Amino acid sequence: MAEIGENLYISNMEKTLAHVQNYSLFGESTHLPDVLHCETIADRSELHDWELAPHRHARLHQVLLIAHGGGWATLDGKTLALPTGSLVNVPPDHVHSFRFEKDTRGWVTTMADELLDELLVGVGTQRSELDQACVLPSDTFVTQTVHQIWREFSAQAKARALVLRGLSGVLLGWVARQLDHSSLAETKINDPELVLRFKELIELNFRAHWTVSQYAKALSISPTHLSRLTRSANGSSALRMIEARLMREARRNLAYTNLSITSIADALGFADPAYFSRVFSRDAGVSPKAFRMQIESAQS
């Protein structure tokens, strides 16, 4: 598996918006299933003349912090200024681009969706808050937290993965807390209320394999209207969002549990394990067994 930070590759798995590149960063091969990356803003931006074209990440959540300098961020079509001290929250599937002032300093922390799932067990209501693309003013606490993530990521100290996961929880908790403050409402880029409700319904019913029509009925809108809303907010169809949540749970179970593939298929509502394997292989590019073997090999 490619080393994180060395390979930023174009995924062929999701091309809903033909003009917007869909990027993914792999986790470090020696530290899976940690799946966290931290780099300075200059590391990548300097290579592209301090301007990153519109793109999105299918399964990655990013948090950027501007320590010095600034620029502009375009999040889901809305351009926002980034003065010194800005923190940018970019959830998966949100189209974004950046234009930084030369020599801007700061950090970009990238976390896999599976890590968020693990950290948010029992507090799922905060997922809808973290799913908002926005710009927030930072403070000393979160700046120190991000800097500590960068230091831990750069070092190879004992218990590195454990410390990084803990610091990730602190960072995400800070972001969720700020987004909960009504005084920051003007800085949010809110998905339509119906899309947020749709995401909540997915969390409740993805194991039951609800169809798009069932979700639309629960929201009192048509399936076509629902997909139009999700494409506008996330660049993905309603069906793709449902499938993505199901497969994210499958990857989490394969990475973090010892359940058999048959048991995982059953827990996710698949009556036929062979069908589950075909669906997973189509989404991930490898079979469930091969995916688990990659994880185990990386940890050995």
The number of angstroms, rounded, from the C-alpha of 299 to the middle of its chain's C-alpha atoms is: 23
What is the model's pLDDT at position 239? 93
Fold for the domain defined by 193-299: Arc Repressor Mutant, subunit A (1.10.10)
Closest CA to 150 of 20, 45, 63: 63
pLDDT, tens digit (0-9, with 9 covering 90-100), for 166-194: 999 999 999 998 887 643 444 444 445 78
The answer, yes or no, to whether residue 264 has pLDDT greater than 90, is yes
Question: Where in the chain do CATH 2.60.120.280 domains reside?
Answer: 8-189
108 band by pLDDT with thresholds 50, 70 and 90: very high
Give the list of residues 6+ apart from residue 4 with CB closer than 8 angstroms, or none. 25, 26, 27, 28, 37
What is the model's pLDDT at position 55? 85
- Beta strand pairing call for 8-10 and 21-25: antiparallel
Give the list of residues 6+ apart from residue 107 with CB closer than 8 angstroms, or none. 38, 39, 40, 41, 64, 65, 67, 146, 147, 149, 150
The number of angstroms, rounded, from the C-alpha of 145 to the middle of its chain's C-alpha atoms is: 19
Q: Which H/E stretch holds residue 224?
A: helix 223-234
The β-bridge partners of 21 are 55
Share of the chain above pLDDT 70, in %: 82
Cα–Cα distance for residue pair 97/54, rounded to 1 Å? 4
Fold for the domain defined by 8-189: Jelly Rolls (2.60.120)
Question: Where in the chain do CATH 1.10.10.60 domains reside?
Answer: 193-299
Residue with tokens 């409402």: 185
